Amino acid sequence: MKGIILHGGHGTRLRPLTHTGPKQLLPIANKPMSQYCLESLIDAGISEIAIIIGGIGSNKVQEYYGDGEKFGAKITYVNQDYPRGIAHAINLCKEFVGNDKFVVFLGDNIIKKSIADYVSRFKQSDASASILLCEVNNPTQFGIADVKDGIIKKIMEKPKDPPTNLAVTGIYLLTPTIFDIIDRLKPSWRNEYEITDALQMLLEENHKIIYDMVTDYWKDTGTPHDIIHANEVMLSSMKPYFHGAKEENVLMDGNVMIGEGTLIKSGSRIIGPVIIGKECIIGPDAHIGPNISIGDNSKLSRCNIENSIIMSGCNIDGNFKIQNSIIAFNSEIVKTDNTDRNVFLLGEGTKISL
């Protein structure tokens, strides 16, 4: 089998974070979210992978993943000139797929459970497609499957009156049959070629579609809140390690991961789950956690930060509190007045003096 990761789109709901690069490279627990997709495919035994790129910062995707060798994969890049829908993106990979079954993974989807069992079941089946479904609280925001007695009856995109709360996750297991369907698709009201419409056509033309339920964690990370929540979940499942150094009078508690060359200075408190990258300086008197990821080469002193993502190269200094925030690469926040509480969504290279 082969794999496809969709890495395009504009990420408008995540601006200003996405003004300088694709949302799928935004880090969750100090790892680009699309890397979780790549690793999930590799874990399922799929090493030939196409990454569909397009939009701002496509070059950053190629710079990060390269030819895939360092990840144990062989990566091919496919350009999509403009976001025309998931089905359109899949159709660009017809030559790459050939006659093989394949898995499509939306690059902003996070799933904790291995997909290996789903892939194995699909390999052995005679189905034209398999989809992963997950119960959600807001079904009008997703593609929805109407399932009765274990059989998919209908698949629809963001229905106003959903018949179920079973969301179609951004992980699709397909056969080359889908390409003939996509060739006959018409654009939706959004002027996009919808994968849900293609799957519905498969059903209507009597092709077999099977499904599995995702009962563990799955998240479509489309908003800052989604990313912060995914960060918390992924941190909680990591094994603690300490490869740095710490001064006296440092408190560390819970699930804490500290990278090489990082120094925790006196008076600091680290309450897990927290991951801190390489070559960071934390403190003095910094209170970090819970639910924090801090990228490489960052300096944080005197501040109190919880439930947030601080990317690489950031400098935060001041007697204040940050919570529920995402601070992009190479940002700086310096504050000298009284303690206060702040929520930030800062794009790359932002500098703030308070």
Let me know whether 145 and 245 are in one domain.
no
Let me know whether 244 and 338 are in one domain.
yes
Over residues 2-18, the pLDDT tens digits come to 999 998 665 555 656 65
pLDDT of residue 103: 97
Let me know whether 189 and 50 are in one domain.
yes
Which residue's structure tokens are 């999509």? Answer: 80
Over residues 19-35, the pLDDT tens digits come to 556 778 889 999 999 99
Report whether 322 contacts 344 (CB < 8 A): yes
Let me know whether 205 and 316 are in one domain.
no
CATH number of the domain within which 178 lies: 3.90.550.10
Exposure string of 258-284, with b = 16+ CB inside 10 Å and e = fewer, is bbeebbbbebbbbbbbbbbbbebbbbe
Q: For residue 229, is pLDDT > 80?
A: yes
Q: What percent of the chain stands above pLDDT 70?
A: 91
pLDDT of residue 216: 84
Q: What is the mean pLDDT of residues 67-83?
A: 91
Let me know whether 281 and 330 are in one domain.
yes
The count of domains in the chain is: 2
Highest mean pLDDT among 51-60, 77-86, 111-120, 185-194: 111-120
* 46 vs 333: which has the higher pLDDT: 46
Let me know whether 171 and 307 are in one domain.
no
Asked which of 197, 225, 253 is the last residue of a domain, the reply is 225
> Does some domain include residue 332?
yes
Q: What is the mean pLDDT of residues 142-159?
A: 90
> Does some domain include residue 29?
yes
| d(C-alpha 76, C-alpha 139), whole Å | 34
Q: For residue 141, is pLDDT > 60?
A: yes
Q: What is the mean pLDDT of residues 133-153?
A: 90
Q: What is the mean pLDDT of residues 342-349?
A: 61
Q: For residue 220, is pLDDT > 90?
A: no
Q: For residue 221, is pLDDT > 90?
A: no
Let me know whether 72 and 94 are in one domain.
yes
Q: What is the mean pLDDT of residues 93-101?
A: 94
Let me know whether 152 and 247 are in one domain.
no
Let me know whether 20 and 168 are in one domain.
yes
Let me know whether 202 and 266 are in one domain.
no
> Does some domain include residue 233?
no
Q: What is the mean pLDDT of residues 112-117?
A: 90
| d(C-alpha 21, C-alpha 25), whole Å | 7
pLDDT of residue 350: 59
Asked which of 179, 196, 225 is the last residue of a domain, the reply is 225
Q: What is the CA radius of gyration of the chain?
A: 22
Sorted by sequence, the CB contacts under 8 Å of residue 333 that are 6+ apart come out as 314, 315, 316, 317, 318, 322, 327, 344, 346, 351, 352, 354
Asked which of 225, 251, 278 is the last residue of a domain, the reply is 225
Let me know whether 216 and 190 are in one domain.
yes
> Does some domain include residue 256?
yes
Q: For residue 213, is pLDDT > 80?
A: yes
Q: For residue 354, is pLDDT > 80?
A: no
CATH number of the domain within which 317 lies: 2.160.10.10
> Does some domain include residue 45?
yes
The pLDDT-based confidence of 190 (bands split at 50, 70, 90) is: confident
Query: What region, left, alpha or beta, does residue 30 occupy, with left being phi > 0 and alpha being psi -120 to 50 degrees?
Result: left
> Does some domain include residue 230?
no
Q: What's the predicted TM-score (pTM) here?
A: 0.89
Q: For residue 40, is pLDDT > 80?
A: yes
pLDDT of residue 334: 83
* 190 vs 277: which has the higher pLDDT: 277
> Does some domain include residue 94?
yes
The pLDDT-based confidence of 348 (bands split at 50, 70, 90) is: low
Q: For residue 228, is pLDDT > 80?
A: yes
Domain that holds residue 304: 238-353
**Which of 26-30, 49-53, 57-61 has the least mean pLDDT?**
57-61
> Does some domain include residue 166?
yes
Let me know whether 329 and 203 are in one domain.
no
- Mean pLDDT across the chain: 89
Report whether 221 contacts 18 (CB < 8 A): no
